[in-house]
Structure 1
Amino acid sequence: MNKMSVKFLFPLVALIMLLIVLDRKVFMVPPLGTFLNPFIGVVQNEHTSNRNKKVNLEVSQKTEIVFDDRAVPHIFAGNQKDMFFAQGYVCASDRLWQMDFMSYISAGRLSEIFGKKFYVHDVIKRREGMSNAALRTLKYIENDQETKRALDSYTAGVNAWIKSLSYADLPVEYKLMDYTPEPWTNLKTVLIMKYVSADLSGYEEDVPASFLETVLGSEEYNKLFPNYYVKKRKEGFGIQRILDSLPVNEYINSSFLESSPEIPTGDFNPNVGSNSWVVGPKKSKSGFALLCSDPHLNLSFPSIWYELQLKSDEQNVYGYSIPGVPGVIIGFNDNISWGLTNGSDDVRDYYKLEVKDNYSYYKYDGKWIKTDSIIEEIKIRDDTSFLDIVYYSKHGPILSDSRAGDPELKGYALNWTLHDPSNEILTFIRLNKAKDYTQFKKAIEYYKCPSQNFSYADVTGNIAVHHQGKILAKKWKNQGKFIMDGTRSDQFSTDALPLDKLPYTYNPDEGYVYSANNNPYKSPNSPIIYGHYKEFRADKIDSWLSAKEKLSIDDMKTMQMDNTNRLAEVAIPVFLQKMPSGESKHLQEFAHWDYKYNKDSRIAQLFEIWWTKIKINTWDELLRYKSHKMRLDDLVLLDMICNDPDNKYFDLLSSEKTENASDIIDISFNQMLKDTTTGSNWGNLNKINIMHLSNLKEFSKTGIPLGGHPQALNSLSKKWGPSLRMIVEMSDKPKGYAVYAGGQSGNPSSDEYDRFIDAWENGRYYELKFFSNIDEGNAQAKYKWSLQ
């Protein structure tokens, strides 16, 4: 028997004594003894699970998980139950803390982790009705046995992984924040779906819009904020205003708005959205349909996407899942492919209430109606729990009262389609195994909130795009754009558009379809619907696809990485025509510019300054009002420059002269020349931050200089952008090419944490390994797990 070395013994004893002393928590710092323990602490997180193993688990048949050279799991199961179990198990192995943390955010439970400083966040989440909506939705969707089986199996798989963990195995975030994972539940999955829905529900302009409409009058307001779409004109660029024939409902005045709040706009960037387009066989060089999808979302570590393949006796699907949710959200199978863009419809409405008896009653059509109430327990770490009463009117939860909530929202009810029970999970379960267009259409019928555009292609060459969701029908002009009167029944409606009224395009003569958060309600027979639609990227896609007779996969890659600012591309020729003639070096540069916002471009930064000055000088009249936070549409201003150059808004308040559009362009140009930032290139100013969900900088990647722009197809802006780029060729055996911003692992110590970032930054794609059977998978396996 070997004796222990004395030289080793003394350091070991000293280490043990130190760990005992340090093994206690001080304020929000984790117990350092446990945290630094080399046998179970943070050091253990440097080890990864990239090795072969066999595990005895609750599967009915042997299930194989093959990991390829990019750590993408390919699950081969004998049935759906085992497949979803394996998905939950493997996803938890890579992303447990992320999925768990997202459920805490959605439920308004961050105080349980971080203490009292997150109490306000949790109150707001509870007051918004997120937790209650998730509970009601779970009860609703579990009535569908197909959904319940998938959820139960996925949950069992996650819990099997959790049960296998010792403290040493816990993700580093649990150790840093000094808490442990609780058992996974079906409710947590629903909370994540609500979290994503809330993130995609847009931003709020109801209050500033109401004030501005009062100041300007309805006619002037509608000129500045029209419902429109892009119209190609022979004489130049312009917009087509949609005739709104709905009746007028006059109720907004200074008395109604006297005590109205300033509703926060949040971090949502309305210029950043998503792109998806599909090229049919007649325009494809290969003769097969090509589907492209690049959803523009918040860029984060770990990524919102988790790549995998799911194969059972009922399906074979490849794509991108959301950690914590069963199935593939964007992807393809043996027969069809699909992509997503945000529908951009306004799905949140605010109602001003008249209440009495401490919110026990609210007035409705002259009668006092008793409010409903829910007691929400907000647990606070190292402190006493807070019991909050959330009151509900028929419109929705009352966001704030004298006790708690945002004081700016006192007495307002939120009506949000997210509150209504719906089964989006079933949409993706059915899409994953859909075989044709008919099954695709049936699957997306279950999708309600928020509205999405589903693009489609199949192996037989059919292409389509469908606008899908629960969209409230409008009864009167501008309904939902402004704060509404909660005392009147004529202002409240829950009637949704029937499915046959939702816009779609199927196998058009042009041979392609596209969606980029643009207004889909533009045919003469479309209903009047309002939203935060953006047209420039859609117009660029249309221009790209119509210009070439045949398109290849390389063309699709070039399009997704295109840094051309469509606004600049349309505006510069107009500006140069309206500018006084001169020999300015910068004018010559603009005349020969390719309009690309590449990271090394200096002229891109000049145009950014020029356009910003034009906006400030044009809208100086509006900056005086409380509603100055309203985002005036760039396209409306450009249309005004092109087609109404003598509009009164071009006349500067600070000048005695009467200016027109040409004057504003010239004045703004000279102001641009004097700007101190004109020497910078675009990459020095367009720095992208990919933050860890906890905002820990050590786990983040910040200050990445990149090209792109919100008005370009490569739509990048600080912390938003193309979270995923995917291209699928629908040949007899579909071929996929993709990259996403992140990596498969949620472990910051793993090489797989940010492995794809370099490829994502530089426009490189990975060829996706879509295996037909386990033998193909085994032949290219880096390592594998067997569940039995």
Structure 2
Amino acid sequence: MRTFKKVLIIISLLLVFVLIGGVIYFNSLKPSYSGSIKLENITKKTTVYFDDYGIPHIYAENQLDAMTALGYVHAQDRLWQMELMRRIAPGRLSEIFGGKMLKNDMFFARLGIEEASKKSIEKLDKNSDVYKLSIAYLNGVNQFLKNGPTPIEFTLIGIEKEPFQLIDIYNVMGYMSFSFAMAQKTDPLLSVIKEKLGNQYINDLGIDINPNTVLIKNSKPTVESLSSMVYQINEIMSNSPIPPFIGSNSWVVSPKKTSTGNVIFANDPHIAYSQPAVWYEAHISTPNYELYGYHLAGVPFPLLGHNRDFAYGLTMFENDDIDFYKEENHPTNSNKYKTPNGYEDYITITKTIKVKDAKDVTINVKSTRHGPIMNDVVNTISETAPIAMSWVFTKFEGKMLNALYTISRATEMKDVKKGASMIYAPGLNIMYGDAKGNVAWWAAGKLYKNKPNVNRKFILDGASGEDDPIEYLNFSNNPMAENPSWNYVYSANNQPDTIANMLYPGYYLPEDRAKRIVELLEPKNNWNKQTMAAMINDVTSAVSPSIIKKLTSIIDFNSFTKNEQRAIDVLQLWNGSNTTDAVAPTIYNKWIYIYLKNTFEDELGSELFTQLLNTHLSKRIIASQIEKDSSIWWDDITTKNNIETRKDILSKSLSESVASLEKQLGKNITTWNWGKVHTLEHKHPLGTIAALKNYFNVGPFPIKGANEVINNSIFNFNNSGLYNVNAGSSTRRIIDFSDVENSISILPTGESGNPFSKHYKDQAKMYNKGEFRKMKMNKDEIIRVSTKLMIEPKR
């Protein structure tokens, strides 16, 4: 008995020691928000105040010290995210995740991002402030990498820490640039439809620009092969552990439309949700520089920012900067391909992809004058018909880092415009407002023209040269507006008007958000911060009620069952608001999916239909298709003896929608609340492991909003009746130049990517409720609510 007691005591003591050791270990992984550290390359004492949401406010005597401090604190909160971001473009995810990421690595290794990065670095002036500040930032990152605690993700996966280099910054920006593009999802799909079904089906999709839609106004001083291609590209992008950029809203109103007589600036870029969230906020103050900025992981200069003098932000332009070319091999020599000037040799380089717990994979990357051949990634494309991808990003010298430096260090409006002119890809709308009363937007991107008969939404002819660009436009021909007479500027990823006698090819989103923004901005001239906050959280569709009105004018109400009639009544009484307690959005979105399915899937097949739903085109055709009394798409080709009409398809879709919802949610329509089916979960890459999900993921939560409302809660349609939100506002920012120090913002989860930090998810509930917190710039207020980390020079 005594022996048994001794064993129990020993076991208990061991458990206590393990518990104590565990607590000590996990506490050691928390970010250091207070105390004192010494860093190399710091010349004078630098103070970092971490406010009540963990946002660093860096006070330094010079910008180099500030950037070193920024690199250090950025790494201690987001090193795991930075590690993933730098691995995507060069194709290094398989090193840590194994063979499941091999397709992604093979794809990105072919794009040429890393080669473009090297060329840009070669041309970068090593005596420039851009270079010096970037190196200072990397010094800070690497000092945390060397001396700080190893993030738990590194330990769980077994990642060896490697110093960050300048090429990592460029590679991160390269991945960001590609994630903006839509051509890789759309062009092959449209080519498939054209080849499979013919021009009549293509023409009826309305893929050309509609000049009657809401435009952003300017003001100036084979079938199987291609089907597999688009499917695999979609699969690769959805498999990425780092979210792509999706869309965005922004508007800036001039003093004439505000109650304060000052500019008010609003911006919420739409990005796929993840944990940690995309942006890292940091406020830097030195004797000659101050900015409150939003940083991508591993990038020293913020993409969004403001100070007391000006504010800038971005939305996605959605212009077309990727084209696919079908090349023609030499009839007897597969190492050559046809050009307008005869046959030329393919450029071939060999790359090795390391795969965790498996043999290295060697790939041969072949390129033509247009760009890399994609056949080896999309392995079902015929070897006799090579498909090359031409991308503006790799065609021209990359000046994105210089552009971000120029914009973030601006002192006048013209400096921001200059920075915008340096961005060739991705296409961005740079939004601007300042304390002097100026408002502006500039579409950044290298735009180009082809011959009039060339439609860049299809696979082009690479051999003849007839489909090549004939002119690259000067930045002065890009869409823009500076202090327009209507006293506001805005962008919602919709088609911009022209100032170059041409409408710019692209993959623009429908007018829904744009229409709502204009509808709200136009009549009102007393905007303030509070009304702007309400607007940026607006969940009312400007288009859905008109679609319902059209639907109910077509169908025969008396032909439906009682519950179907109740559903129609709910829809007719709906004002388009997508709150969590509303019932109409649940009925509406189910009907939209089934209406699209019944209209397009019979011709396309299930795989191509799913791919259509992953493009912006599917959103554009929701409203346009229902307006067509006669359309080749209405007929269900699987019913041999009938020719279905618009009324047939819409009526059938409504009945099927109600039946499906009854099965899913019960027959009592009043319980079909939107929040039951529309939810948001912020997913960490390790959250796919069941045992780790609750520790790393944040959510799920019922969430308001919907596709293409201002508070854009983006989901993919599917047959489940569940709308898992995968993208939305990556931040909501409102800067009021009458009271800059009380400007407001919010992040989807929290500032820190460290799961042991109290700031890992401390903003999530506020975000879901549409609430805000200050972007603090008043030093006295910052000190009152902050902890202090002193950084001293290491002698």
Q: TM-score range by the shorter chain?
A: 0.7 to 0.9
% same residue = 26
For 1:274 and 1:291, locate their aligned partners in 2 and report how far apart those are by CA, in whole Å: 14
Is this contact kept in 2: 1:459–1:732, CA < 8 A? Answer: no
Equivalent residue in structure 2 for 1:669, among 644, 647, 654: 654
Are residues 787 and 136 of structure 1, via their aligned partners in 2, closer, same or farther at CA, if it must alter by over 3 Å? same
> Do residues 139 (structure 1) and 126 (structure 2) align?
no
The letter for the 1-side match of 2:101 is: F
1:605 pairs with 2:577: no
**Equivalent in the alignment of 2:315:** 341
1:164 has 2:164 as partner = no
Conserved in 2, the CA contact under 8 Å of 1:261 and 1:409? no
Contact 1:366 1:487 in 2 (8 A): no
Aligned position for 2:722: none
User: Relative to structure 1, is the Cα distance of residues 259 and 757 closer, same or farther in structure 2, using a 3 angstrom cutoff?
Assistant: closer
Quickly say closer, same or farther: Cα 1:140–1:566, change in 2 above 3 A: farther
1:300 aligned counterpart, secondary structure? coil
Question: CA contact under 8 A between 1:239 and 1:639: conserved in structure 2?
Answer: no
Aligned to 1:173: 153
CA offsets per residue over residues 73-112 of structure 1, 9 Å max, x none? 1112222222211111111121112102211122211232
For residues 656-682 of structure 1, the C-alpha deviation after alignment (integer angstroms, 9 at most, x for no partner) is 666554454334333333223364322
SS at structure 2 position matched to 1:487: coil
- Shifted more, 367-376 versus 337-346: the winner is 367-376
Match of 2:680 in 1: 688
The aligned runs of 1:7-46 (5 Å cut-off) are 38=21, 43-45=26-28
Q: Shift in Å at residue 350 of structure 1?
A: 1.6
TM-score (norm 2): 0.85
Cα distance in 2 for partners of 1:757, 1:707 equals: 14
Is the contact made by 1:274 and 1:296 (CA closer than 8 Å) also made in structure 2?
yes
Q: Give the alignment's TM-score, normalised by structure 1.
A: 0.86
Question: SS state of the match for residue 262, structure 1?
Answer: helix
Rate the CA distance shift 1:144–1:294 in 2: closer, same or farther, 3 A.
farther
Mapped to 2, the partners of 1:389 and 1:733 lie a distance apart of: 54
Residues of 2 paired with 1:48 and 1:384: CA distance? 37
CA contact (8 A) 1:315 1:432 kept: no
Q: 1:550 to 1:358 in 2, by over 3 A?
A: farther
The counterpart of 1:704, out of the listed 696, 701, 723, is 701
Give the secondary-structure state (helix, strand or coil) at the position aligned to 2:21. coil
Q: Distance in 1 between matches of 2:162 and 2:403?
A: 28
| 2:73 alignment partner in structure 1 | 90
Identify the match of residue 773 of structure 2 among 766, 769, 779: 766
Find the counterpart in structure 2 of residue 27 from structure 1.
none
- In the other structure, the counterpart of 2:394 is 419
Equivalent of 1:101, from 81, 84, 90? Answer: 84
- Structure 1 residues 48 and 488 mapped into 2: Cα distance closer, same or farther (>3 Å)? same
What CA distance in whole angstroms lies between the structure 2 residues aligned with 1:685 and 1:144? 56
Q: Alpha-carbon deviation of 1:635?
A: 4.4
Q: Aligned pair 1:266/2:230, yes or no? A: no
Q: Counterparts of 2:470 and 2:366 in 1: how far apart (Å)?
A: 19
Which of 382-391 and 508-517 deviates more? 382-391
Verify the 8 A CA contact 1:579 1:662 in the aligned structure 2: yes
Deviation at 1:750, TM superposition (A): 1.8
**Mapping 1:435-454, distance limit 5 Å:** 435-454=411-430
Report 1:203-602 matches (<5 A). 203-215=184-196, 217-218=198-199, 221-229=202-210, 231=212, 260=226, 262-263=228-229, 264=231, 265-266=233-234, 273-355=247-329, 360-365=335-340, 367-401=342-376, 406-408=379-381, 411-420=386-395, 421-493=397-469, 495-522=471-498, 525-580=501-556, 582=558, 584-602=565-583
Contact 1:276–1:514, Cα closer than 8 Å, also in 2 = yes
After superposition, the C-alpha distances for 1:409-456 in whole angstroms (9 at most, x for unaligned) are 853221112324312122221222212221111121111211011111
Q: Which has the higher helix share?
A: 2
Is 1:45–1:747's contact at 8 Å kept on the other side of the alignment?
no
> Any gaps of 5 or more consecutive residues in structure 1?
1-5, 20-35, 232-237, 243-255
- The 10-residue stretch of structure 1 (326-335 or 608-617) with the greater mean CA deviation from structure 2: 608-617
Distance in 2 separating the partners of 1:37 and 1:126:
45
1:723–1:388 distance in 2 versus 1, CA, 3 Å: same
Shift of 1:290: 1.0
Report SS of the residue matched to 2:466: helix
SS of 1:531's equivalent in the other structure is coil
Output the CA distance in 2 between the equivalents of 1:258 and 1:380: 30
SS at match of 1:53: strand
Q: Is 1:75 matched up with 2:62?
A: no
- State which drifts further: 590-599 or 175-184: 590-599
The answer as to whether partners of 2:263 and 2:437 remain within 8 angstroms in 1 is yes
Worse overlay, 437-446 or 370-379? 370-379
Letter in 2 for 1:491: D
Change (3 A) 1:723 1:494: farther
Q: Is the 8 A contact 1:672 1:678 kept in 2?
A: no
Are the equivalent residues in 2 in contact too, given 1:67–1:783 (CA < 8 A)? yes
Question: Corresponding residue for 2:711?
Answer: 714
Query: How many Å separate the matches in 1 of 2:585 and 2:606?
Result: 31
Alpha-carbon shift at residue 326 of structure 1 (Å)? 0.6
Kindly provide the CA deviation profile for residues 725-750 of structure 1, in whole angstroms up to 9, marking residues without a partner as x. Answer: 11111227464200011212221122
- The runs of 5 or more residues in structure 2 that have no matched partner are 1-5, 239-243, 667-671, 716-724
Q: Are residues 1:742 and 2:749 paired?
A: yes
SS for the counterpart of 1:427 is helix
Q: 1:192 maps to which residue? A: 172
* Structure-2 change in CA distance of 1:457 and 1:765 (3 Å): same
Distance 1:360 1:215, change over 3 A: closer
C-alpha distance 640-781 of structure 1, shift in aligned 2 (>3 A): closer
Q: CA shift at 1:479, angstroms? A: 3.2
Are residues 694 and 137 of structure 1, via their aligned partners in 2, closer, same or farther at CA, if it must alter by over 3 Å?
Answer: farther
Q: Which amino acid aligns with 2:676?
A: N
Q: Provide the C-alpha distance between the structure 2 equivalents of 1:438 and 1:658, rounded to a whole number of angstroms.
A: 60
Letter of the 1:553 partner, please give it.
K
- Taking the aligned partners of 2:103 and 2:333, their CA distance within structure 1 comes to 21
| Contact 2:214-2:511 within 8 A present in 1 as well | no
Tell me which amino acid in the other structure corresponds to 2:574.
W
Per-residue CA distance 1:702-721 (angstroms, 9 max, x = gap): 43221211121111122211
Pair 1:645 & 2:629 matched: yes
